[in-house]
Structure 1
Amino acid sequence: MYPIQREAAVHLLAECVKLATVNPPGNEKLAADWLAELLTQMGWAPTVEDLGENRANVVAVLKGTGEKPALVYNGHLDVVPVGETPWTYDPFAGISANGRLYGRGTSDMKGGLVAMVMAGDALQRAGVRLKGDLIISGVADEETGALGAKAWVQAGGLQGVGAIVIGEPTDLDVYVAEKGACWIEVTTYGKTAHGSMPDLGINAVMHMAAALSALSRLSLPFQPHALFDRPTLSVGTIQGGNKTNVVPDRCTATIDMRTLPGMRHAEVLGEVRHVLDGLREAIPAFTYDMRVIAERAPVAADPHAPIVETALTILEARGRRVIPKATPGYATDASVFQPASGAPFLIFGPGIPHLAHQPDEYIEIDTYLESIELYCELAQCYLS
C-alpha cells in the first residue's frame, strides 16, 4: 500500500476548488501558485511559468534514474463558468455531502490533477525508485485556446517524454482518441435599405441562410476509424441585423466542425470555401469572409502502447475490465501534446464525464481516492 493521506487529499481538493479559476478570464495563477506552495511543502522543487494577465502553468519533477523516458501526469487549472442555473451547493465552496465533493472543477478536472499530485507525494514518501522522471504539469487555458499547453510545449516541456497521462474525467475508463475541433466564423455582407423596400438592398441574413443551408449538405471526406462514427458540422451562433425595418448588411455565424484522426483541417477548410465560393454563381451579389477562431487536432494513440496496456493491466487486477475507447466528444490538451511530441497518451481520470460543465458538478470521493492509488501504480509499473 502507498502512504496516501486520504483526509488530506479530500481537504486539498476542496481547497483547490475554492480557487475560482473561471475561464474566461482564467486567473490560473491562483491555482498555479497554490499548487507550487503545496508541492514545495511536499519536498518538490516546482516552477511556475508566468503567462501574463494572471495566467500561469506549474510544473514539478520527481526525478528518476534516467534509464527510461519521462512520464507526464497532466491536468488543466482552469474551469468553465457556472452558468445561470442555480446550484444546490456553492460551486466554489468545496462542500462534501453524501460521499461526494461538490464544486466547479471537481470532475473537470481539478480532481484528476490533485489526485496526480497526491500520487506523486505518496511515491516520494514511499521511496519508490523510478527509472524515469515523473513530471506533473498543471496548465492554463485548456477550456478555451490551450494557451498553457502550447506555451509548455514551446518551452521544451515534452523533451525526453515517453508517455503522457491526462487526468480529464473518464470515471476511471481509458480513452485513447479524441475528435479534433475546427471552429470557424463566416460573415456575409449586403447593403442596407428600408425594410419596406427590400429590393433596394442586399439582405446579408438571407445570404447567410443560403450559406448555412449549403453547408448543412456538405459531406466531409474522411477515413473510417474504429472508435468514431463520422465528422460533424454544427452551427453554434448567428448574429445579423440591428433593426426590424432595416435590411441587414452584415450577418455572422460560428460553426463547430469536429474531425476524425487522419483528417487535415486545411483540406476541410478548403471544402467549406468551395461550397461558399459556389454560391457566388447562384447568388451574384453573394460575398463572404471566413476565419478560423479555434482549432484542435484530432488525435489517437496506439491502444497497444505500453502506457495503455499498463493501465489496462492495473485496472483488470482490480476487477475493472476496460476496453480503450474515444472520449465521448470533448477535446483535451492531447491535441497539442501528441502532435508536438509523438508520444503515446492516455486520458484517464476520476471525474465523471457527463458532469463536466454541468450545474451541481461533483466527484465521488471513493473514486477520487482510488484514482490516487491507480496513479501511484501506473507510474511505478510504467517507470519500473
Structure 2
Amino acid sequence: MRFLPLLAVLFALGSSHAASSRPAPKDELRALLAELIAADTSNPPGNETAAAQVAARWLREAGIESELIEPSPGRGNLLVRLKGTGKGRPLLVLAHLDTVPAVRAEWATDPWKLTEKDGLLYGRGVQDNKGMAAASILALRRLKQEGGNRSRDILLYLGADEEVGSGQGLDWMMEHRPELKEAEFALNEGGLTELSPDRKTVRFVALQAAERVSRNVTLKATGPGGHSSAPPVDAGPLVRVAAAVARVGALTFPPHLTPAARLHILGRAPTTPGELGDALRRIAAAPDAPPQDAVDTVARLEPALGAVLRTTCVPTVFNAGTRSNVIPATAEATVNCRLLPDADAKAVRERIVAAVNDKDIQVEMDVSPPDSPMSPVGDNAMFRAVKAAAAKVWPKAPVIPRQSTGTTESATLRRAGIHAYGIDLFALTPEDARTAHAPNERVPVASLQPGAEFVYLTLKHLTR
C-alpha cells in the first residue's frame, strides 16, 4: 500500500497559474466533470489514481489538503477532511471514481470525452458516479471559501473499486482508516430525482434509506454422465437442474412494505397519474399487506418500483456440459436473490428448496454479504437538510424516502452504525437513468447546475 499526502506547499507552487486558467464558476462543474471522465477508470482494471489526482488538484487550488491512498498501485482512494467545530460528529460524503467498462463501437460519442449533443451530456461515469464526485469537490471548495464555523467535520471520500466489490476501496478503507467510522451521517449515491419525460417537471426527490441485499443461491446436481447415445432414464444432472431452474424462475414471494417503501408509495401516490397512480393509491390505503393485483400492476408499469415491494429470485447462470455428444456428470445454476432488508434469509432458502423439490439437488445460499440495516426514515438532520436544499432547487418536488432495488456501499456504512443515505443529484427521466451502465450514459445539460447546488446546500444545512 502507498500513502501519498498532497501537501499545501504544492498548492503554493502551482495554484497561481491554475487559478488564472480556471473556468468561470458557472462552468466549473462541466470542466471538472470533463477532466474526471477523460481519466479512464474502467474497472477492471480501475486505475482510479488518475481521477483521484485530478480531484486532488482541484481541491489543492482551493487550499484543501487531501491524501491519496493506494491499497495497491494505481488503485487510488482520496480522503479529505474539512474541519468544523466538532460540535457534531462528522458527515461522510462519498462517491466512487471507478466506472463500468465501455465499448467504443456501441456509443454514439467517445465514452471518455464529455460531449454535448441535443441538450444532453454524454460520457462514461457522468451519472455513475463522477457527477457526484465533481459536485462534492466543488461544494467543499465553496464551503472552504465561505469560511465560518461549521458544526461538524466533512469527510470527503472518493473511492476505488465500487463496481467490483470494493476490496480496493471502501472495504479496505473501513478496515484501515478508522476515522471513517466516526461519521454520524453519510451521503452517497442511490437516490432518485425523477424528471418527467418532457423534461419540464421534477416529479420527486427520493432519498435512499434502505436497499435490498444480494444473495446468490447455487443449485447443483451430479450423476454418472456418459455417451449421449445411451442416456440414463432420468436424462442426468443437466435435465434435473434445468427443471429446477424453471420451477425457481416461476417462484414469487409475497409483497411486503418496509418503512422506507411504504413512505415512498405514500409520497408518490397522490400525484402519480393514470393506472400506476391508481395502483399506488390502493397500496398506500392498505392497512396491512398490499393488494396482489395492485402490486402486479406496479411491477408491470414500473418494474424497478415493483421490485422493491418483495424479495425476488432470478436464475442468471447455467453451467453444464462441454461437448454435444457427452451427457455432463455435473450441472450447476446460479440464482440471484435480492432480499428485502428485513427478510429472513433462511426462510428464503427454504422457499427455494421447496420449489426445487428434488432431494438430489444441492441448494446452497451465500452467507455473505451480511444483512443491510435500514437507516432511520423519520425527522432527522439528514432529511431536514435534503428537504431544505430541494425546496430551494426544485420547490414543487416532494422529498420522500426510497428503498433501492440494488446494493450500494451504503450497506457497508450502515453495518458500521452510520446513518447512510443516497441521493441522485441530477434530475433524470426514467429513460436517462437506464443509461447508467449502458452505452450512451448521459445527463441533461439543464440538470447540471441545479444538481451541484443541491449537493452544496445539503452539505451547508448539515453542517450549520
Shorter-normalised TM range: 0.7 to 0.9
Mean CA deviation greater in 310-319 or 15-24: 310-319
- Please point out which of 185, 201, 205 is paired with 2:238: 205
Counterpart position of 1:73: 93
User: AA paired with 2:192?
Assistant: T
For the structure 1 residues 313 and 169, does the alpha-carbon distance in structure 2 shift closer, same or farther, using more than 3 Å as the test? closer
Matches within 5 A, 1:227-306: 227=261, 228-265=308-345, 268-269=348-349, 271-272=351-352, 279-280=358-359, 286-288=360-362, 290=364, 292=366, 295=369, 297-304=371-378, 305-306=380-381
CA contact (8 A) 2:191 2:207 kept: no
User: AA paired with 2:28?
Assistant: A
Report the Cα distance in structure 1 between the residues aligned to 2:172 and 2:255, rounded to whole angstroms: 31
Is structure 2 residue 213 aligned with structure 1 residue 180? yes
Is structure 2 residue 399 aligned with structure 1 residue 323? yes
Report the Cα distance in structure 1 between the residues aligned to 2:451 and 2:166, rounded to whole angstroms: 25
Matches within 5 A, 1:85-104: 86-104=106-124
Q: How far 1:294 sits from its partner (Å)? A: 6.6
Is structure 2 residue 299 aligned with structure 1 residue 224? no
User: AA paired with 1:317?
Assistant: K
CA contact (8 A) 2:191 2:404 kept: no
Q: How far 1:74 sits from its partner (Å)? A: 0.9
Q: How far 1:328 sits from its partner (Å)? A: 5.2
Report the Cα distance in structure 1 between the residues aligned to 2:52 and 2:364, rounded to whole angstroms: 36
Report the Cα distance in structure 1 between the residues aligned to 2:426 and 2:185, rounded to whole angstroms: 19
Q: How far 1:260 sits from its partner (Å)? A: 0.9
User: AA paired with 1:179?
Assistant: R
Q: How far 1:167 sits from its partner (Å)? A: 3.5
Counterpart position of 1:357: 437
User: AA paired with 2:219?
Assistant: V
Report the Cα distance in structure 2 between the residues aligned to 1:158 and 1:241, rounded to whole angstroms: 47
Mean CA deviation greater in 371-380 or 48-57: 48-57
SS of aligned partner of 1:258: strand
Counterpart position of 2:41: 21
Counterpart position of 2:185: 163
Counterpart position of 1:377: 457
Report the Cα distance in structure 1 between the residues aligned to 2:458 and 2:102, rounded to whole angstroms: 33
Q: How far 1:223 sits from its partner (Å)? A: 5.3
SS of aligned partner of 1:24: coil
Report the Cα distance in structure 2 between the residues aligned to 1:193 and 1:200, rounded to whole angstroms: 12
User: AA paired with 2:193?
Assistant: D
RMSD: 2.8
Paired positions, count: 376
SS of aligned partner of 1:253: strand
CA contact (8 A) 2:123 2:440 kept: yes
Q: Which has the higher helix share?
A: 2
For the structure 1 residues 54 and 356, does the alpha-carbon distance in structure 2 shift closer, same or farther, using more than 3 Å as the test? same
Q: How far 1:274 sits from its partner (Å)? A: 6.6
Per-residue Cα deviation, 1:189-247 (whole angstroms, up to 9, x for no partner) = 22221111012896221121133234335555785325141110111121211111111
Q: How far 1:351 sits from its partner (Å)? A: 6.4
Report the Cα distance in structure 1 between the residues aligned to 2:255 and 2:161, rounded to whole angstroms: 29
SS of aligned partner of 2:91: strand
For the structure 1 residues 169 and 79, does the alpha-carbon distance in structure 2 shift closer, same or farther, using more than 3 Å as the test? farther
For the structure 1 residues 253 and 53, does the alpha-carbon distance in structure 2 shift closer, same or farther, using more than 3 Å as the test? farther
Mean CA deviation greater in 158-167 or 214-223: 214-223
Counterpart position of 2:60: 40
Report the Cα distance in structure 2 between the residues aligned to 1:110 and 1:374, rounded to whole angstroms: 16
Q: How far 1:258 sits from its partner (Å)? A: 0.8
For the structure 1 residues 138 and 50, does the alpha-carbon distance in structure 2 shift closer, same or farther, using more than 3 Å as the test? same
Is structure 2 residue 204 aligned with structure 1 residue 130? no
Is structure 2 residue 174 aligned with structure 1 residue 153? yes
Mean CA deviation greater in 225-234 or 182-191: 182-191
For the structure 1 residues 158 and 240, does the alpha-carbon distance in structure 2 shift closer, same or farther, using more than 3 Å as the test? same
User: AA paired with 2:40?
Assistant: A
Structure 1 runs not aligned, ≥5 long: 281-285
Is structure 2 residue 415 aligned with structure 1 residue 339? yes
CA contact (8 A) 2:79 2:157 kept: yes
Per-residue Cα deviation, 1:121-168 (whole angstroms, up to 9, x for no partner) = 111112243110111111122223132221222232433212111144
User: AA paired with 2:437?
Assistant: H
Higher relative contact order (CA 8 A, sep 6+): 1
SS of aligned partner of 1:197: coil
- Please point out which of 294, 308, 333 is paired with 2:383: 308
SS of aligned partner of 1:279: coil
Report the Cα distance in structure 1 between the residues aligned to 2:344 and 2:46, rounded to whole angstroms: 30
Mean CA deviation greater in 213-222 or 101-110: 213-222
Q: How far 1:4 sits from its partner (Å)? A: 8.2
User: AA paired with 2:170?
Assistant: A
Q: TM-score, normalized by length of structure 1?
A: 0.88
Q: TM-score, normalized by length of structure 2?
A: 0.73
SS of aligned partner of 2:71: strand
SS of aligned partner of 1:233: strand
Counterpart position of 1:283: none
Report the Cα distance in structure 1 between the residues aligned to 2:189 and 2:383, rounded to whole angstroms: 14
CA contact (8 A) 1:9 1:115 kept: yes
Report the Cα distance in structure 2 between the residues aligned to 1:190 and 1:44, rounded to whole angstroms: 64
Is structure 2 residue 129 aligned with structure 1 residue 55? no
Mean CA deviation greater in 134-143 or 291-300: 291-300
User: AA paired with 1:257?
Assistant: C
